[in-house]
Amino acid sequence: MGEKADATAELVTVGAQSPPRRLRVETGAVLRFLDALGTAVPPDAEDVKVPPTFPTTLQLPAPGLEAIDPARILHGEQEYVYERPLRIGDVLTCVSRVSQVSKKSTRLGEVTVVVIETTGCEDQGELVLTERMTLMVR
């Protein structure tokens, strides 16, 4: 188990980041997300509010973890910080960056803890959201 954690730490480095990706918050995607949550959808699409956990669907790559078997990755926690609410039609340029890498001993052996920070900015560079995701790699 220790060798795999060491190999992961070598693949993932603080500061590594994904290429920028432009993403649009589309009505259909928000409606599908609301449906999956079991949330009532307003009859008028203009009244649809984007749920705060919607960025989960954006699925940007986690820098350095692309080559690791997904079965070895455990999602630990996730948080969102908004400068303003997301709106239908928003176009954001998103970048994921490794902000922390550490090792932790668990009852199953040593794991590598990776914190990925994703930012979403408008075209003018205004920050709209920051997402922090903690992953544990066995």
Kindly report each contact of residues 43-51 with a partner whose C-beta sits within 8 Å and lies 24 or more positions away, as own/partner.
Answer: 45/88, 48/88, 49/85, 50/25, 50/85, 50/86, 50/87, 50/88
Q: What are phi and psi of 14, to 5 degrees?
A: -60, 135
Q: Is the pLDDT of residue 21 over 80?
A: yes
Least confident of 44-48, 80-84, 112-116: 44-48
Region 61-65: mean pLDDT is 84
Task: Return the closest-CA partner of residue 118 out of 67, 69, 63, 71.
Answer: 63
pTM to 2 decimals?
A: 0.82
Do residues 76 and 137 touch, judged by C-beta distance below 8 A?
no
pLDDT given at position 59: 77
Question: Tokens representing 28?
Answer: 């259909």
Kind plus residue range of the DSSP H or E element containing 107: none
Q: What's the distance, CA 123 to chain centroid?
A: 20
Question: Tokens representing 22?
Answer: 């432009």
* Residue carrying the six token digits 């500061």: 15
pLDDT given at position 95: 95
Least confident of 42-51, 101-110, 114-123: 42-51
What the chain holds in terms of domains, given with CATH numbers, is 2-25+60-137 (3.10.129.10)
* Residue carrying the six token digits 């956990």: 53
Q: Is the pLDDT of residue 131 over 80?
A: yes
Q: What percent of the chain has pLDDT over 70?
A: 91
Region 23-42: mean pLDDT is 88
